[in-house]
Amino acid sequence: MTLKPHEREILINYRLEQAKETIDDAKLLIDNSKFRSAINRIYYGMFYSLLALGLKYEYNTSKHSQLIGWFNKDFIHKGVIDKKYGKMINTAFIRRTKGDYETHIKFDKKTVQLMFKDMTDFINTLEDFIKIK
């Protein structure tokens, strides 16, 4: 899809706003001990901010693993963004997939709270990176 610069900027801002909204969603789920659903929202918050980054750099894919691979290759492995963010998105993707598709998966509150902290850091870092670059 070819976008005009102002259309791209609108979509980038939409994806970042979508990512930030998931912070509230995840917090609400954690506060109500809905840990599996919180993992889903945590991952998607990170994913939406990755979509914004992809838009900024005109990278487009409908595949989650391709977007994460592009991020790791072009930003993490090249040292543009700290490698801890590559680990965060990879872990969130794996846990979200397990939580959504495997049976009898349970997550403990401590794990989910740490992932929530990582998610907010990830979203804020990508937002800052997008706005600076």
* pLDDT at residue 1, rounded to an integer: 62
**Stretch 112-128: mean pLDDT, rounded?**
98
Domains of the chain as residue ranges with CATH = 5-132 (1.20.120.330)
What is the pTM (predicted TM-score) of this model?
A: 0.95
Model confidence pLDDT, tens digit, residues 52-104: 999 999 998 889 999 999 999 999 999 999 999 999 999 999 999 999 999 88
Tell me the pLDDT band of 3, cut-offs 50, 70 and 90: confident
How far apart are alpha carbons 63 and 52 in whole angstroms? Answer: 14
Tokens of 68: 């994460």
Residues 6 or more apart whose Cβ sits within 8 Å of residue 36: 99, 105, 106, 107
